[in-house]
C-alpha cells in the first residue's frame, strides 16, 4: 500500500481541521451576513437562501458556503473588507447615483463662474452668482428656465412730491397741445409694474458651454395717480406702456482693476402713453447695451439708442431725443446684502445738452420675518431732468419719492 508523502499528509490534516472549524463558524456567520452581498459566490449564497423545504439542508448549505469563503486569497479578502460596498448594498442608493461623477468644485472667489447643475441650485436666485449673472441668467447655473415670469424693473408703489406738475401738456407737433389746464397737484402716487420672460436661449452659444445667451420679452408700465385730488375725481394723470424685446450675449473678458465684461446685447423698445389727441405721445427705438461688474458690489450698465424714423404726420413728439436723450448709464453699488444704491444718467449727446439723473436707494425689509431672503425693499428716489413720464418729455422737473418695491432676482 502506497502512502502519500508527508507534505500531502500535512495539507490533508490542515484541510480537515479547517473544515471542522468552518462548520460552526459558518453557522455563526450565516446569521450575521447581509441579506444580499454583491461579491464572489453570490449565486451560491442565493441558492442557499432559496432552500425553504428543510432547515437542516438550508443550514448545511450555508455552512458549506461559509467554509468556501475562508479559502479566498488574503489580498482579495482585504480588498473586499476595505472597498466601498456597491450601490445595491447601500440603502437608498441607486446604481445610477453610485455611477454619477462627483460634483464639480465651487470657486467661491469667482461667484459668477460657478459650474453647477440647475437642479442643485436656486438658479437666478442663487446669491453665489453675481447680480448681472443672475439678472440675465448668463450661465447654466444661474438659469431659471424659459417662459417663466421674472421681475425686470422694480415693481413699486411710491408717494411722490414734485417741484411742478404738467397741467397743460404741449408738443411741437400740430394738434398735440391740451386745450385747457387741469388742476393737478404736485403730490401724487406712482405705480410701476414691470415683468419679463425668457423666450429662448443657446441661440448662438454651445449646449456644452457654461455660458448662455438669451432672448427676452419685457413689459413695463408706469402710472402717476392723482390720489390727493378728490375735486377732479382722482384721475390717473399719466400712464406709460413700454413693451420691449432684447437679445443678450454673455462674455467673461477680464478688464483692468479687477472689472469683468459680462454681457452685450441689442434690443427694440416701443413707448407710448395710450392716449388720443391731443395728449398722444409715442416713439420707437433700437439700442445697443453692455454691462461690466466688479466682484458682487459694483455694476455698470450702458445703452445707446437710435430713434426709428416716423413721418411728420405720425410724429407725436418731434425732437424727443433732445430731451430724453440718446443714451444712458447706470451705476449700481451694493455695499452689503441689505442696501443698494443706483445712479442712472441720460444725455442727449448733442448740442441740446439735456437729459436727466435719478438716484435710488433700495433697503431690504422683512429679512427677519419668516425663512429665506426677502424681496421687499424700502425704495427712496430723487429724479431731476426731462422725461420722468412720457407726457413730460419736454418739461423739466424734480421729483422725490418714497415707497415699497419688490425686486425679483
- The active-site residue out of 272, 276, 282, 405 is 272
Q: Is 402 helix (H, G, I), strand (E, B) or coil?
A: strand
| Contact predicate 316/171, CB 8 Å | yes
| Contact predicate 391/147, CB 8 Å | no
CA distance 329 to 250: 19
Tell me whether residue 272 is one of the annotated catalytic residues. Answer: yes
- The active-site residue out of 27, 146, 270, 384 is 270
Alpha carbons within 13 angstroms on the beta-carbon side of residue 238 total 26
Phi-psi region of 260 (alpha: psi -120 to 50; beta: other; left: phi over 0): beta
Tell me whether residue 321 is one of the annotated catalytic residues. Answer: no
CA distance 221 to 7: 99
With a CB cutoff of 8 Å and minimum separation 6, the contacts of 263 are 132, 136, 138, 248, 249, 250, 251, 290, 291
Unique residue bearing C-alpha cell 425732437: 319
What are the catalytic residues? Answer: 270, 272
Amino acid at each position: 500500500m502506497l502512502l502519500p508523502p508527508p507534505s500531502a499528509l500535512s495539507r490533508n490534516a490542515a484541510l480537515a481541521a479547517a473544515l471542522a472549524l468552518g462548520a460552526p463558524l459558518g453557522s455563526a456567520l450565516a446569521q450575521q451576513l447581509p441579506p444580499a452581498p454583491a461579491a464572489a459566490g453570490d449565486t451560491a449564497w442565493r441558492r442557499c437562501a432559496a432552500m425553504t423545504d428543510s432547515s437542516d439542508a438550508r443550514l448545511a448549505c450555508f455552512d458549506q458556503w461559509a467554509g468556501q469563503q475562508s479559502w479566498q486569497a488574503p489580498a482579495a479578502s482585504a480588498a473586499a473588507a476595505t472597498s466601498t460596498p456597491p450601490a445595491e448594498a447601500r440603502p437608498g442608493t441607486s446604481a445610477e447615483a453610485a455611477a454619477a461623477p462627483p460634483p464639480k468644485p465651487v470657486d467661491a472667489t469667482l461667484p459668477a463662474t460657478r459650474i453647477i447643475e440647475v437642479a442643485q441650485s436656486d438658479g437666478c436666485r442663487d446669491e453665489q452668482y453675481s447680480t448681472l449673472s443672475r439678472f440675465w441668467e448668463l450661465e447654466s447655473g444661474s438659469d431659471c428656465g424659459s417662459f417663466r415670469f421674472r421681475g425686470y424693473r422694480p415693481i413699486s408703489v411710491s408717494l411722490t412730491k414734485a417741484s411742478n406738475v404738467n397741467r397743460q401738456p404741449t408738443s411741437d407737433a400740430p394738434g398735440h397741445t391740451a386745450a385747457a389746464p387741469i388742476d393737478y397737484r404736485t403730490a401724487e402716487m406712482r405705480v410701476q409694474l414691470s415683468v419679463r420672460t425668457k423666450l429662448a436661449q443657446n441661440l448662438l452659444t454651445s449646449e456644452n458651454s457654461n455660458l448662455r445667451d438669451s432672448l427676452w420679452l419685457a413689459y413695463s408700465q408706469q402710472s402717476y395717480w392723482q390720489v390727493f385730488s378728490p375735486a377732479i375725481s382722482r384721475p390717473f394723470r399719466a400712464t406709460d406702456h413700454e413693451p420691449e424685446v432684447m437679445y443678450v450675449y454673455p462674455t467673461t473678458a477680464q478688464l483692468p482693476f479687477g472689472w469683468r465684461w459680462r454681457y452685450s446685447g441689442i434690443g427694440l423698445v416701443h413707448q407710448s402713453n395710450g392716449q388720443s389727441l391731443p395728449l398722444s405721445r409715442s416713439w420707437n427705438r433700437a439700442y445697443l447695451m453692455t454691462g461690466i461688474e466688479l466682484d458682487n458690489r459694483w455694476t455698470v450698465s450702458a445703452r445707446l439708442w437710435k430713434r426709428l424714423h416716423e413721418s411728420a404726420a405720425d410724429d407725436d413728439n418731434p425732437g424727443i431725443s433732445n430731451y430724453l436723450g440718446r443714451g444712458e448709464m447706470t451705476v449700481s453699488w451694493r455695499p452689503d446684502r441689505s442696501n443698494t444704491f443706483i445712479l442712472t444718467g441720460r444725455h442727449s449727446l448733442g448740442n441740446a445738452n439735456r437729459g436727466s439723473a435719478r438716484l435710488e436707494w433700495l433697503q431690504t425689509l422683512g429679512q427677519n420675518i419668516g425663512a429665506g431672503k426677502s424681496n421687499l425693499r424700502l425704495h427712496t428716489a430723487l429724479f431731476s431732468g426731462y422725461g420722468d413720464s412720457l407726457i413730460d418729455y419736454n418739461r423739466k422737473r424734480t421729483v422725490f419719492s418714497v415707497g415699497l418695491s419688490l425686486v425679483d432676482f
